[in-house]
Amino acid sequence: MTDTINADTRFSSPYGAWMQVFAFVYDSFLWLGEIAGMRKRRSELLADARGRVVEIGAGTGLNLVHYRDEVAELILTEPDASMRRRLERSLQRSGRAARIVDAPAERLPLADASVDTVVSTLVLCTVDNPERTLAEIARVLRPEGQLLFIEHVRARSRFLAAYQDMLFRPWRAFAGGCCCNRQTVKLLRDCGFNVEADDAVWRSMPTIVHPIVVGRAIRS
């Protein structure tokens, strides 16, 4: 790639060996939620992905089957080695052309204004530094470039939000760093994105990850 820039992309998960287990059980843990509606949501969201597409935190590759012909180039970033091994296998099975890059979303080794679409599904809850990640997404997006996202966020209900606050630490340790009470839409707006998002329910998943928001953010 001619526009790849040098960046320090070293990433060390504080969840260490547990990430191997988490990556191993990940698809099974999500399976019911996928067939209960998340797979359809992924497909509808990614129908809008176009041009040069960068997916952050691509995990085991659950989005791969949903990309369409409008995608000219696909770059999958994933900083965790256990997830990346599964992603490599999923990519091989899919027969799709894509490049896997070992990098955290806070430090994308991509040139400024070089990307048409960034995709984040269930990742902005997990990144260590969401403000830095959103600044990095804004940096790599072309003017009018879009971030397509599905994220679970802090509940609007006070009762459920208090439940998320109470279980924050054990959930974070279980789910590889996931912050169940993150106010991702507010963060996006605070970081200068124009956001269109709909609330939805991630059916057949624990209430701690309700609700989800599905939408698009454009650099303003």
Ligand X SMILES: C[S@@+](CC[C@H](N)C(=O)[O-])C[C@H]1O[C@@H](n2cnc3c(N)ncnc32)[C@H](O)[C@@H]1O
Tell me: does residue 79 bind ligand X (CB under 6 A).
yes
Q: Where in 132-191 is the site for ligand X (CB under 6 A)?
A: 176-177
Q: Where in 98-117 is the site for ligand X (CB under 6 A)?
A: 104-106
Q: Where in 40-59 is the site for ligand X (CB under 6 A)?
A: 56-59
Q: Specify the residue, 155 or 205, whose C-beta has the smaller distance to ligand X.
A: 205
Q: Which of 46, 74, 80, 140 binds ligand X (CB under 6 A)?
A: 80
Kindly report the three-state secondary structure assignment for every residue of the chain: CCCECCCCCCCCCCCCCHHHHHHHHHHHHHHHHHHHHHHHHHHHHHCCCCEEEEECCCCCCCCHHHCCCCEEEEEEECCCHHHHHHHHHHHHHHCCCCEEECCCCCCCCECCCCEEEEEEECCCCCCCCHHHHHHHHHHHEEEEEEEEEEEECCCCCHHHHHHHHHCHHHHHHHCCCCCCCCCHHHHHHHCCEEEEEEEECCCCCCHHHCCEEEEEEEEC
Rounded to a whole number of angstroms, the minimum distance from the CB of residue 104 to ligand X is: 4
Q: Specify the residue, 41 or 159, whose C-beta has the smaller distance to ligand X.
A: 41
Count interface residues toward ligand X (CB under 6 A): 20
Q: Which residue is nearest to ligand X (CB)?
A: 59
Choose one: 44-52, 78-86, 88-96, 197-205; the region binding ligand X (CB under 6 A): 78-86
Q: Specify the residue, 61 or 145, whose C-beta has the smaller distance to ligand X.
A: 61
Chain contacts with ligand X (rule: CB under 6 A)? 56-59, 62, 78-80, 83, 104-106, 121-123, 126-128, 176-177
